[in-house]
Structure formats: C-alpha cells, structure tokens
Structure 1
Amino acid sequence: MVGLAIQDLSVRYGRTEIISGISADIPSGGGLTAVIGPNAAGKSSFFKRIAGLAKGNGKVISVDGKQGGKGIAYMPQDSTCNAVLSVYESVLMAAKQGSGWQVEDRELAEIDRLLTSLKIAPWAFKNLGELSGGQRQLVAIAQALIRKPEILLMDEPTSALDLYRQIEVLTFMAGLAKTNGMLVMIALHDLNHALRYCEHTLVIADGRLVASGRSEDVITSDLLRDIYRVEARIERCSQDRPLVIVDSALN
C-alpha cells in the first residue's frame, strides 16, 4: 500500500508564492483523503505540485521511495475535451498513454469493466462533445482510473454532478481506495461529504496547511469559524454520523 510523505512543499508563480512550506504524511489503503479549504486557498496548486506539474521547493516521496510524479494521476477541475473522440476512444487513449499503440483484448475488457462500474457504458460510443459537463466529469474519472495509478489526485471531481452521482462516485472511490490500497486525495467543498466519505482530511488556507488528521477531529466549529468565517455546529444524526450545520456567516 502506497503512502505519501510531503516535505516542505512550495509553489511559486513568478514572484508570487501560492503554496508555502506544506509538510504532511498521507495514509493509504484506509479510505479517501479530503483536501478542503476556501476558494483560492491553493488546493489546485498543491495537487499540481504533488503531480510534478508545478515547480517549487520541497519533496514528494511515496513509501516505496519514488519521487516526483511517478505513479501519480491528476484529474483537474476542468478536463480538456476532444469532441471528435467517443467516450470509449478517449478512455482507450488514456490507457495507452506513454506506451505503444498495440491494443490487447485484455485492455479492452478492462475498459468495458470500468465503464460498467461507473455506469457510463451506455455512453461508450457517444462523442465527448455530446455530453453534459457532469457526464464529461465521469469520463475524466474513467480516464484517470484506467491508468491504474498508485496515487490519484482528484480536484473537485463531483462539482458538476447531481446529488445522486456525487454519492455514487464518492462511494465507489472510497471502496476502491480500501480494496486496492490506492491513495486517493479529493479536493471537496462539501464538508459533509468529507466527513461521510473521507477518513483523513487536510485543510489548506492562504497556501498553508492549517490542520491534518482524522476528518472528525479536523472539521470542527472552531475551524469553520476561523477558516470559513461561518458560525456552525457539528452534530450527530440519527445514524450517529457527524453533520455540519451552518447557522450564519460572520461579518
């Protein structure tokens, strides 16, 4: 099972430092890790730096000693869309990225299983340009997973999905992380989703890591007041699950 050690990570664009001195140990195999924080906190830059797509100081080391972007797949908020390709073709191209173009029956069977698991097989031969934003988001998840990464970084993968699909995708990814021992980090804005589906949570604000640990320990009324500027309570529902209840925004 792959874990991740992040040591003094920074990202700078020109003279502006976006991420500064983030260090954290990310567990794997126990479920999802949420990355939360206000808009423009630096979550996307943090993911890009881990994936080797942004430059900066610090180190990203997996427990097997690999550094940089090896074995890491990054799913950005806005996936590029080649409207000429069908869904199936786009996933096949993702599977063959960095390898030869000879296609084996085994690879086609893997694509079939993945599209079925994500319940997008009916769209297999639709062009990407025909799909809604939410549908393209699900295809982007398939493109990331078909590469069989050890570490998967998902930047707001549910932002364009309806509530049913959000629950479906988060349940699927949580199961995949536990079953396959994959390290999956997901940037989320819905804090109740972080509490429900993510075992571990990192909080980034103003480009710095302000909290890290078990989701229930990290997402507190004090954190919501200090970081999100809202007055809120964490209460337990009838199934004894924690819920964020926001009372008001602070001036």
Structure 2
Amino acid sequence: MMALQAGPLTGRRGRRIVLDSIEIGPLEGGTITSLLGPNGSGKTTLLRALAGLFPVQGPMWLGPHDLGGMRAPERANYCAYMPQTLPPPIHMQALETILVSMRASGAHPDEQAFDTAIDTLERLGIADLSLRFLDELSGGQRQLVGLAQVLARSPALLLLDEPLSALDLRHQFEVMAVLRRETEARGMVTVMVMHDLGMALRRTDSAVMLAEGRVIGAGAVENVVTPTILARAFGIRARVERSAEGDSLVLVDGVSNISEERAAMDNQSDHYRSAPSSS
C-alpha cells in the first residue's frame, strides 16, 4: 500500500495566498482522512491541488510516484477526484456514464469494464439505477452514481469533495460503510472534505483542520476535533461527548471570542509560517 505525503504546498489566487505552506501526511493506504474547517478555509482548494486541478508550489508524492511531476493523463492512473457539484442531469444511462469514465481514465480493459461497473453499482446498493437516465434521478441518486464513477476506476488515491452533501441520513451511513470497506480492501488513500464533525469522528481515521488557508490541526481525528481546535477554526465553544452507544458527538454551546482565537492561531508561527510574497 502506498502513502500520500504532500507539502509544504503554497497556492495563490492572484496575489492572495489561499494555501499557506500546508503539509499533510503521511496518509497511509487503507485509511480515510477528513478535511475539516469553516467555509473558505481552503478545503476544496487543497483537494483540487492534490488532484492536479489547482496550481501549487511544493511536492506531492504517492508512494514512489511524484504526483506533482505528472501530466493529467498519467495522474489519472493513480488519482480519482469527485467534485461537490453533482453529475450533470444528462440523458445518459447511469451504467453508461460509469463506462465512459472508466474508458476516459484507461482504468480497465474494455472486456472487464462492464463487469467492474456492474459490481461497483452493486457494492453501492444502486444496481437498480444502472439503466436509469441521469436526468430522471434525484440529486442523491446522481451523487451515488458519481461515487460509482470514481470507485470503478480503482484509484490508489480517492479524493471526494463533500460526497455526503446530497444524501439522506440512511445513505450517508451506507456510503461511509462502503467507503470504509473499499478503502481497506483496495488499500486506497481516501481524502474527503466533510462538514459533519460527528461523522468525521465516527467514520474517519485522521483529520486535517484548516482555517484561513493554514493547517491548525492534523493527526488522529480525535486529536483534531477538540474544543481548543474547534474554537480556533470556527470561533465556537464546543464539547466532544459520547452517546449511549459510545459514538463521539460534537455539542456546540455558543460562539467564542473570534478575535482572541485568531490571535492565538496567528501566534503558532513556529508551525504555520506565511509563504513569501511573489512580488
């Protein structure tokens, strides 16, 4: 199994730094990592950078493979990215969209593609959608088809941007169970943007907490989703407690003094340095 190691990564939009010397990893194969943080913190930008869709300065390695030095077609052999935006509701059957995605990435020979596509739909519990057209499906069903498209490619690195956002509660838990099973069985590195802190605590192995384009916490998820780090990231007063079943829950008691928390975060200069100006 290969591990993902990236950084320090610096990315800009114009003159503004949006990823500030970010380092992640090593993220081991067979594990799920959640990218957490408030809106605008850089989660999707970091995910797109790992997918090669946002330009950054800095190294990215997947095992012995230099992802940063690869062209897009070669990178697609190792990496699959699912954006937050749902697959467009085009008049194409779900099974056909998966086959097209597999052919585009060259993930499987044609003679194996059909069986792999059907098997993936079955693993997600949506084989009954295989001959349905995307423009006939609900948003949640299209989200599941999009997930089938990336899983069918059997990537070594799976990058998912809020894959649970359009799903109802039952499907959220079912999809996380599928991701756990597939990640471990295939030895994938799975990295996903999440907003549900409780789900991250219960269903992911590690986490990276971002705020204003910087990492303010990284490691085992229970060491990242803590009252102190949540206060710094979100400006809230929160507790992490256990349910009757033993699951971790995040309870928010109120809003903290954001200016004080930001000042505390800015004082972490020994770990999170500002990138030099390009001017």
Q: Please state which band the TM-score falls in when normalised by the shorter chain.
A: over 0.9
Instruction: Determine if the alignment matches structure 1 residue 83 to structure 2 residue 93.
Output: no
TM-score normalised according to structure 1 size: 0.94
Partner of 1:184: 190
Distance change >3 Å, CA 98–CA 33, structure 1 → 2: closer
What CA distance in whole angstroms lies between the structure 1 residues aligned with 2:165 and 2:146?
13
Partner SS for 1:153: strand
Q: Match of 1:172, as an amino acid?
A: V
- C-alpha separation between the residues in 2 aligned to 1:100 and 1:173? 19
| In the alignment, structure 1 residue 7 sits paired with structure 2 residue 7 | yes
Matched residues, percent identical? Answer: 34
Secondary structure, aligned partner of 2:143? helix
1:97 partner letter: A
Moved more, 154-163 or 27-36: 27-36
How far apart in 2 are the matches of 1:80 and 1:165? 17
Deviation of 1:98 (Å) = 3.8
Please report the RMSD computed on the Cα atoms of aligned residues, expressed in angstroms.
1.8
Q: How far apart in 2 are the matches of 1:228 and 1:7?
A: 24
Amino acid at match of 1:32: I
Change (3 A) 1:222 1:147: same
Residues 112-164 of structure 1: per-residue CA shift (max 9 Å, x gap): 11101111111111111111111111111011111111000100000010000
CA distance in 2, matches of 1:100, 1:48: 21
Query: Which piece of structure 1 moves more, 197-206 or 5-14?
Result: 5-14
Contact 2:36 2:210 in 1 (8 A): yes
Equivalent residue in structure 1 for 2:215, among 209, 214, 236: 209
Residues matched between the structures, number = 250
Q: Give the TM-score, by structure 2 length.
A: 0.85
The CA distance in 2 between the partners of 1:55 and 1:248, in whole Å, is 37
Structure 1 unaligned spans of 5+: none
Q: Is 1:52 the counterpart of 2:52 in the alignment?
A: yes
Tell me the equivalent position of 1:32.
Answer: 32
Cα shift at 1:28: 2.2
> Deviation per CA, 1:70-89, whole angstroms, max 9, x where unpaired?
21111110044151211011
Structure 2 CA distance for aligned equivalents of residues 181 and 41 of structure 1: 29
Give the number of the structure whose residues are more often helix, by fraction. Answer: 2
2:165 pairs with one of 153, 159, 163: 159
